[in-house]
Amino acid sequence: MTDTAGTTDRTGAADGVGSGSGGAVGTAEVRRAVEAYWAAADARNWDAFAATLADDVVYDLPQSRERIRGKERYVAFNRDYPGDWHVRIERIVADGEGLQAAARTLVTDGPDRMHAIHFFTFDAQGLITAVTDFWPESYEPPAGREHLVERY
């Protein structure tokens, strides 16, 4: 994947979006599909969320070694997920063929803030066929490199 398609800033506005080449679905369409997926999830609009997914979507959580197969089960997993979480897209990177994208999000649930990285695969109609999520936990860096880094 390359970042030539531009990025999505913290407000969700896209810059430098181009059209894909070589695939039935282009880079801009893939980026819009990822944006629609997260907008529907954040709004708890499960019909719109389901509309972004292929019937045989596969969802993987490598850190917990969980897999969900199928649109109905994946929608239920998200619908039933506890908490009052909200999602903000920080960045989307899509391949030039319109088949893959990666997104970095900030998820908030009350005072809790979590960054996550999501990998998407698409079919020729622009539906999501696979999602792999990574939810890394924050940690304090080791001592001795303070003179080299900037903390944020």
Predicted confidence at residue 59, as pLDDT, reads: 98
How far, in Å, CA of 36 to CA of 38, rounded? Answer: 6
Q: Determine the Cα–Cα distance for residues 71 and 77; give it in Å rounded to an integer.
A: 10
* Cα gap 43→40, rounded to integer Å: 5
pTM of the model: 0.80
- Six token digits for residue 121: 């695969």
CB-side neighbour CA atoms (13 Å) of 132: 8
- In whole angstroms, what is the distance from residue 104 CA to residue 38 CA? 11
Average pLDDT across each block of 10 residues of the chain; the chain has 152 residues. List them in order.
38 35 72 97 98 98 96 97 95 93 97 96 96 90 89 82
CB 135 within 8 A of CB 66: no
Cβ neighbour number for residue 95 with a 10 Å cutoff: 20
Terminal C-alpha separation, the chain: 27
